[in-house]
Amino acid sequence: MKIRIGYGLGTRSETNDQERFDALIDGLEHHGFDSLWLSERLTSDCPDPLVGMAYACGRTKQLKVGMSVMVLPGRNPVILAKSLASLDRLSAGRVLPAFGLGVANSAEHQAFGVARNERGAWFNEALPLMRRLWAEDHVSHHGKRFTIDDVSVRPKPVKGHLDVWLGGRAPLEMKRVGVHGDGWLPSFCSVADVVAGRREIERIAAEHDRAIEDDHWGVLISYREPSEAIPDRMLALLADRNPDADPNEILPTKQGLPATMQRFIDVGFSKFVLIPSIEPADWEPELAEMAATVLPLEN
């Protein structure tokens, strides 16, 4: 099992100008981290994920790029399939798409133009259509939201398809992973949570004659400085997403992070996206320290 460790920028990210973004990208590439994951929130300061991914790919040779996550409802699946396939080709296969329904926020719902209660149905129609557009030529589809006849999207992704990562722990979210996902990347989870979640996702996938590869199970982990109390906003998120969890297990310190990651590795999870709870003033020393702390787990 190959361990892969990347970094993510949360929705409150302040890394949104050229100097700081360059420092992050260059540091990740220099120190040998696997990937960069960009969140999406139209109404916050974080950079647009597709733009940021393209910029990062153009500046690096090895770093993979993904979204954690991009909102799919409200987007034209044909245009998005073209954009992601093009970026995958131009980056020599370094794109890791991850999609979601979007945050429960009225401003975000208005911005995307899709009501919350319509987002699941939109997602469930758009993602399979995108998969067909990546893999096939002459695609026809007649659904409730999209109608196309004999459409071919080119170029195709490097592998002829793109592996799609999904997150979430709610029953409907795990069902969506089992039916539509190639990988699972949840957040705010304990080891017990992901063990139970994987078991349920594998059961659902089997019911649909699908299987998720052994190296496509991951987890997003926020970490903090040893002297740093868990920020109130993180406690509020944890209370909303996983109220029964121990905050110190879900949000470890830097020193406790390797042991936390090892516990996930021991139960078969090999993909990690790390997010500092407070972004550093300077990315280079942060990434140098963390490379020495966590990258030995990849060996």
Residues in the chain, total: 299
Stretch 76-88: mean pLDDT? 98
pLDDT band for position 105 (cuts 50, 70, 90):
confident
Express each pLDDT in 34-56 by its tens digit. 999 999 999 999 999 999 999 99
pLDDT band for position 106 (cuts 50, 70, 90):
confident
Least reliable range by pLDDT among 108-122, 131-145, 279-293: 108-122
pLDDT band for position 227 (cuts 50, 70, 90):
confident
Domain 4-298 part of CATH 3.40.50.150? no
- For residue 205, give the nearest of 179, 171, 243 by alpha carbon: 179
Domain boundaries, the chain: 4-298
The pLDDT of residue 231 is 80
- For residue 62, give the nearest of 29, 85, 23 by alpha carbon: 29
Strands 95-96, 139-142: parallel, antiparallel or unpaired by DSSP?
Answer: unpaired
- Residues whose CB is less than 8 angstroms from the CB of residue 25 and which lie 6 or more positions away in sequence, other chains included: 36, 55, 56, 59, 60, 63
The pLDDT of residue 245 is 82
With contact defined as beta carbons under 8 Å apart, do 193 and 167 qualify? no
User: What predicted TM-score, i.e. pTM, was given to this entire model?
Assistant: 0.95
Report the alpha-carbon distance of residue 28 to residue 62 in Å, rounded.
Answer: 10
Report the alpha-carbon distance of residue 216 to residue 214 in Å, rounded.
Answer: 6
